Amino acid sequence: MDVDNYYKQLEGFRIKSYLGESEEGFPQFKLTKPKYADVLVEVSADGEGNYGGVLFLSEYKENVQ
């Protein structure tokens, strides 16, 4: 996976709201950008904090977290 292109998808988006934690305990955010579908971002990392973490990107769906 090309990590640079994966994360560049987020350029221009802004955090609209904090949605709480996922079932796995990771914080979730709703991102928005004019003329684009809202994006759900989930931030994960191992419990020990041994590395930088991962952002999971998906389309935001109302009432689904």
Q: How far apart are CA 34 and CA 19, in angstroms?
A: 20
Total domains, the chain: 1
Domain-located, residue 20: yes
pLDDT of residue 1: 73
CB within 8 Å of 17: residues ≥ 6 apart: 29, 30
* DSSP-based helix, strand, coil % in the chain, nearest 5: 10, 40, 50
Domain-located, residue 64: no
Q: Output the pTM of the full model.
A: 0.79
Cα 50 to Cα 6, 22, 36, 45, 53, distances in angstroms = 22, 21, 34, 8, 9
pLDDT of residue 64: 52
pLDDT of residue 58: 86
Q: Which domain holds residue 46?
A: 3-59
pLDDT of residue 38: 95
- Can you give the pLDDT of all 65 residues of the chain as single tens digits? 788 888 899 999 999 999 999 988 889 999 999 999 999 999 987 767 677 778 888 888 875 54
- Bridge partners (DSSP) listed for residue 58: 40
